[in-house]
């Protein structure tokens, strides 16, 4: 299955970008009202939880933290939430954010979504969804407004 990778530049320091990607405020604004819960340390478990088919506490995505270096790198395994697929535990991919200072208050963000399990239903949508999500994070960080993701 084809990997997805995209690089963008955000007018903010790497720690500000990290806080938006991992914090409740940024996630609520960009990730459809969801927040990331869990321990952001290697081996820890995380969940994206928010409004959805299962109510306000729907687990949309969950997995394991592979790498977490504040202001520099976040790598997570990803499984669709149990409400979406009976075989959710078998479906997996890896999401990795690399943050690098690229000048005064400028961060280079390289996002990769790879290591897809065979038949993962989200793979087909990833090339369309991730550019919108990454653009929305950029907009939210730089202006305080996320773009509508529809």
Nearest to 8 by CA among 102, 78, 80: 102
Q: What is the pLDDT of residues 112-143, one digit of tens each?
A: 999 999 999 899 999 999 999 999 999 999 99
What angle separates helix 123-143 from helix 14-22, to the nearest 10 degrees? Answer: 120
- Segment 35-51 mean pLDDT: 96
- Segment 43-65 mean pLDDT: 96
Q: What is the pLDDT of residues 72-118, one digit of tens each?
A: 999 999 999 999 999 999 999 999 999 999 999 999 999 999 999 99
- Residue 76 is predicted with a pLDDT of 98
- Residue 84 is predicted with a pLDDT of 93
List b or e across 91-104, with b for residues whose CB sees 16 or more CB atoms inside 10 angstroms: bbbbbbbbbeeeee
In terms of CATH, what superfamily is 4-143? START domain (3.30.530.20)
The dihedral formed by the CA atoms of 58, 138, 131 and 19, expressed in degrees to the nearest 10:
-40
* pTM (predicted TM-score): 0.94
């Amino acid at each position: 299955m084809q990997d997805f990778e995209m690089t963008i530049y955000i007018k903010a320091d790497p720690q500000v970008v990290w806080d938006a990607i991992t914090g409740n405020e940024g996630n609520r604004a960009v990730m459809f009202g969801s927040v990331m819960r869990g321990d952001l340390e290697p081996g820890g478990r995380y969940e994206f939880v928010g409004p959805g088919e299962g109510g306000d506490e729907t687990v949309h995505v969950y997995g394991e933290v592979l790498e977490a270096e504040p202001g520099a790198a976040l790598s997570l395994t990803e499984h669709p939430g149990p409400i979406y697929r009976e075989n959710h535990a078998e479906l997996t991919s890896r999401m990795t954010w690399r943050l690098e200072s690229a000048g005064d208050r400028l961060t280079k963000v390289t996002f990769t979504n790879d290591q897809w399990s065979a038949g993962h239903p989200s793979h087909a949508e990833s090339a369309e969804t991730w550019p919108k999500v990454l653009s929305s994070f950029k907009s939210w960080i730089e202006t305080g407004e996320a773009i509508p993701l529809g």
